[in-house]
Amino acid sequence: MSLVPLTALDRWADLSDEQIVAEVLTGHTAAFETLMRRHNQRLYRTARAILRNDAEAEDVMQQAYVNAYAHLRQFDGRARFATWLIRIAVYESLSRLRQRGRDAGLDPEGPSPLQVVSPAGSTQDPERLAFSSELGVLLESAIDRLPDGAREVFVLRQVEGLSTEEVADALDVSPDVVKTRLSRARAALRRDLLDHADAAASNAFRFLRPRCDRVVAKVLSAVAAERSAASLPQRS
């Protein structure tokens, strides 16, 4: 199955996931690309939340799609297709963790305490854009430091916007477990980000060289204009 020109994918753009699945099963296999493009970000975030590794997350995405395509006739519509696909990615990710010799940490009967570990190493002006970028990196790093179990719940519930029930179904835990882990994840993130905010407070609202130069130039220009208007003597 090769890539389809993006314009050719428009024929399926207005269909629901379930309708596209039906199209694929009737022989329009190219329609599966629409599903992949529609869910790539969600699947990446799911795998990335579990594995905390970009390259492995991409590998898991690819395998999840292959598995989904191979077993597409097993999709019975009782859950949303997106939830079914996420569940496949979760299981594939957990398989990767087991290969690493790690405990996946998704036992609903005994979630481990959530503790934050020590950190590892309108049009906006360039300074604000840089600050926003740094803030995004800081948040992603803080999410990465959440414990197994909490991290997946936070990404699916808060970042991807899935409902509590959808997250519970995808991770095979109860809705109460999802609510508990989300609450603890939020509290852990607040503590982590506040700690970083305290450490970085001295760097807030920085007045860097470009802005300094701009203000100084404007002031000197205004002073020169006032001197000229008042016919004050100029001194070099």
Rounded Cα distance between 184 and 202, Å, is: 29
For residues 199 and 194, what is the distance between their CA atoms, to the nearest angstrom?
A: 9
53 with 21, same domain: the answer is yes
Burial class (CB in 10 A: 0-12, 13-18, 19+), 213: exposed
* Single-letter residue type at 66: V
Instruction: Check whether residue 156 and residue 142 sit in a common domain.
Output: yes
Q: What is the mean pLDDT of each run of 10 residues along the chain (236 residues)?
A: 62 90 90 89 91 90 92 88 92 88 48 31 49 67 90 91 92 94 92 74 63 73 71 56
Which amino acid appears at position 62 of this protein? Q
Question: The CATH number of the domain where 69 resides is what?
Answer: 1.10.1740.10
Residue 107 lies in a domain: no
Query: In whole angstroms, what is the distance from residue 72 CA to residue 223 CA?
Result: 74
Instruction: Look at residue 226 in the predicted model and tell me its pLDDT.
Output: 66
Is 16 found in the same domain as 94? yes
Distance CA 179, CA 167 (A): 10
How many structural domains compose the chain?
Answer: 3
11 lies in the same domain as 94: yes
- The whole-number pLDDT of residue 76 equals 85
Question: Do 95 and 143 reside in the same domain of the chain?
Answer: no
Locate tokens 């969600």: which residue? Answer: 42
Domain that holds residue 34: 6-100
pLDDT of residue 183: 94
Tell me, yes or no, whether 35 and 89 share the same domain: yes
Q: What angle do CA 112, 114, 117 make, to 5 degrees?
A: 115
- Specify if 112 maps to a domain: no
